[in-house]
Amino acid sequence: DAKTTQPPSMDCAEGRAANLPCNHSTISGNEYVYWYRQIHSQGPQYIIHGLKNNETNEMASLIITEDRKSSTLILPHATLRDTAVYYCIVRPDNYGQNFVFGPGTRLSVLP
Amino acid sequence: KAGVTQTPRYLIKTRGQQVTLSCSPISGHRSVSWYQQTPGQGLQFLFEYFSETQRNKGNFPGRFSGRQFSNSRSEMNVSTLELGDSALYLCASSLYGGSPTEAFFGQGTRLTVV
């Protein structure tokens, strides 16, 4: 699976958009980009995934660059409850749920 | 519908003992994966079961094993416990296990080995 690089930590003001970047320069054509988050001491929570088109759901938006070498997760109006570690994962389109989690980005939403 | 249920939530064991953890997936889900989370190593994949068969395995010693039952419930077993096995053990379930589908995680079992 392709390796991802994320900043170790970020701050965001409550009510503002949180933009979390992820670099995956070695991504191959059949690999999807997934985002999960983990709030302290809980199991990871699925946020969104995409292949090459931008995606949006009730939680967030995923913007993938045209060359697919990087992506950005956008939380449009961050709240204190969005404080968590955010993981960007790329994995191929094959069967199996063996996600490879990196260290992620610790997002702190500040009042 | 009910989420992924892991039991017990907390466990304390002594070095050398063995332990069995249980995971009940979301109803209808057939894939169950197990992960170990420690402060030093982060989240690491242990193994995945689909239709009672182990489909993927991570890089863990043979002391770590698992199984899945016909109702998709899964158990993992760790024998000859070591202090380094202290961790949060997480179970995730998904509908078929095929990409791209999301996995739903349980709250985990926190194992402490003393």
**Quick one: pLDDT at residue A95?**
57
Query: Within chain B, which residues score under 50 in pLDDT?
Result: none
Candidates A1, A32, A97, partner chain B, best to mutate (most B CBs within 10 A): A97
Contact A44 B90 (CB under 8 A): yes
Find chain B residues with C-beta within 8 A of A46's C-beta. Answer: 102-104
Binned at pLDDT 50, 70 and 90, residue A40 comes out as: confident
> What is the distance in angstroms between the Cα of B39 and the nearest Cα belonging to chain A?
10
- On the 0-12 / 13-18 / 19+ scale of CB atoms within 10 A, B18 is exposed
Q: How far apart are CA B14 and CA A69, in angstroms?
A: 47
Of A92, A99, A103, the CB nearest to B103: A99
List residues bridging with B24 in a β-sheet: B5
Longest Cα–Cα distance in chain A: 42
| pLDDT tops 60 at residue A69 | yes
Instruction: Report yes or no: A35 and A49 within 8 Å, Cβ to Cβ.
Output: yes
CA distance B50 to chain A (A): 9
Give the model's pLDDT for residue B27. Answer: 94
Split at pLDDT 50, 70, 90, the class of A2 is low
Give the per-residue pLDDT at A96: 65
User: Does B97 contact A32 at a Cβ distance shorter than 8 Å?
Assistant: no
CB contact under 8 A, B100 and A98: no
Whether B99 and A91 lie within 8 Å, measured CB to CB: yes
Nearest CA in chain B to A95: B98
| Confidence at residue B99, expressed as pLDDT on a 0 to 100 scale | 57
Q: What is the pLDDT of residue B97?
A: 59
pLDDT of amino acid A50: 93
Note the pLDDT of residue A94: 64
> pLDDT of A8-34, one tens digit each?
999 999 999 999 999 999 998 888 999
What percent of chain A is modeled with pLDDT above 70? 94
Q: Cβ(A44)–Cβ(B4) under 8 Å? A: no
- pLDDT at residue number B55: 87
* Cβ under 8 Å to A: B residues 75-104: 88, 90, 92, 94, 96-100, 102-104
